[in-house]
Amino acid sequence: MADELFNPLDPEVIRDPYPIYRALRESDPVHWHEQLGAWILTRHADCTQVLKNPDIFAADFRKVGIPTPGPLLSLQTLDPPDQTPLRHFAVDALRRQDLRALEQEAAARAESLLDGLADRDTIDFVTDFATPFTLGTISHLVGMPPPEADEEWRRHNDRLHRSMDAGLDPDSEEAGLAARQHFSDYVARWLARRPETGISGYVAANREGLDYADEVLFNSLRAFWHAGFEVPARFLGNALMTLQQYPEVVNELSGAHVDTAVEELVRFSGPVHVVSRAATEDVTIAGRTVHRGDMVVVVLAAANRDPERFTDPETLDLTRDPNPHLGFGRGTHSCLGNVVARIEARVALRALLTRYPRLAVLGSERFLNATLHGHSRIEVRLSGAPALAH
């Protein structure tokens, strides 16, 4: 049964879900969605309550009797205390990396990619710049060679993305699990070579001190690596499309404003729109009773435009500070690679817009994905001629 108020896979909703988010937040902020069989939360306070309380709102659905397939067992789907040693291990692995050197290397990669595109009148921003930039950067950090972006790679990537909407499209689940396993196997083969650099080098040298199955370790590194290129690539596309609508603010992406500008772009047009949790006990949210075993869908993108938390939330303000957005989550499941995502964002946007401050978007296509919003194609004229279409 389709929900009368909110069909997340409707192409028009995917194109612009924010009016629906606003309507739900104003009329029914804890909304029972029949098709999903889940509660939809759209207010910042309610979403934060769920994200910061893993004892009651679990990422590990096994706590309520829902089995977790092997390829999904990872740092992302374990809760404290089971998750705690692995998260500490992951944080330490990241802290051991030279992030200043990573930023320098990323800046050089961005310039090299742009050099290679300089003689072209138009490019596909997604495939020609955003994806190779983020894939190269996160692979360098992990210390693992990026796989060749061939047809097989694209097929597995597409199936993984589609399966993020398995609650709405159950037919996508099996192929998504196989895709995750494919990428985890790639990680396992690399770790078997005993790498010595990057995060994979740290894992190879210290994994024996961890009391986790190999499957969980491989899946966790795969999830970190995959999210480290796919989510930032979609963010860069969203940010570019947003900035095309507000050309007067492009100059604020340089100098001292770049960090606050990135935070505002994450708030305003971040790609990760929802995360799910399972209630482990009966609990009340905004006067509604959520029962043990009920699924709760936290709509991060709706919370990020909640007027009770943000002044003029529908206005893009690249100097907004403070900016308590939920674009990287909250609590023990907050995005571990947020520091890397911020590096990728500021380096890529600054390099692109410094060289091409008047570039123009000629056309675009979106992924039909309700969980991870972004563009599959963005045709860009680098010379800055007037845009033909959006």
Cα first-last separation, the chain: 33
Residue type, 337: G
DSSP-assigned letter for residue 203: H
Q: Quickly state the pLDDT bin for 389 (edges 50, 70, 90).
A: very low
Helices (H), ranges, 164-213: 173-191, 198-206
Which tokens sit at 14?
Answer: 């995917």
Do 309 and 303 contact (CB within 8 A), yes or no?
yes
Q: Kindly state the tokens that stand for 123.
A: 């490019």
Nearest Cα residue to 175 out of 157, 189, 188: 157
Q: Could you tell me what percent of the chain has a pLDDT over 90?
A: 85
**Cα distance between residue 150 and residue 132, in whole Å:** 12
Confirm if 347 and 340 have CB atoms less than 8 A apart.
no
Token pair in block for residue 150: 């061939």
Query: How many angstroms from the chain centroid is the CA of residue 346?
Result: 16
**279 forms bridges with which residues in the sheet?**
57
The single residue listed with the structure tokens 């978007």 is: 361
Does the pLDDT value for residue 259 go beyond 60? yes
**pLDDT exceeds cutoff 80 at 255:** no
Nearest to 167 by CA among 383, 369, 381, 385: 369
Instruction: Give 254's pLDDT tier (boundaries 50, 70, 90).
Output: low
Asked if residue 333 has pLDDT above 50, the reply is yes
Q: How far is CA 16 from CA 8, 11, 39, 322, in A?
A: 10, 9, 21, 26
Give the domains, in start order, of the chain with CATH numbers. 11-381 (1.10.630.10)
Alpha-carbon distances, residue 241 vs 115, 248, 293, 362, 365 (angstroms): 22, 14, 39, 11, 11
Length of the chain: 390
pLDDT at 2: 57
pLDDT at residue 192 tops 50: yes
What residues have CB less than 8 Å from 191, skipping those under 6 apart? 200, 203, 204, 207, 218, 221
d(CA 305, CA 314): 6
Q: What is the C-alpha to C-alpha distance for residues 380 and 42, in angstroms, rounded to an integer?
A: 34
Q: Quick check: 87 pLDDT over 80?
A: yes
Residue 390 pLDDT more than 60? no
- Give the mean model confidence (pLDDT) for residues 40-47: 98
pLDDT (tens digit, 9 = 90+) per residue, 273-322?
999 999 999 999 999 999 999 999 999 999 999 999 999 999 999 999 99
Predicted local distance difference test score (pLDDT) of residue 331: 95
| pLDDT (0 to 100) of residue 251 | 73
Confidence of residue 15 (pLDDT cuts 50, 70, 90): very high
Q: Which residue has the higher pLDDT, 127 or 387?
A: 127
Encoded tokens for 11 = 């192409």
Instruction: For Cα atoms 18, 374, 301, give the angle at the middle one, nearest 5 degrees.
Output: 35
Q: How far apart are CA 326 and CA 304, in angstroms?
A: 6
State which H helix or E strand residue 297 sits in. strand 295-299
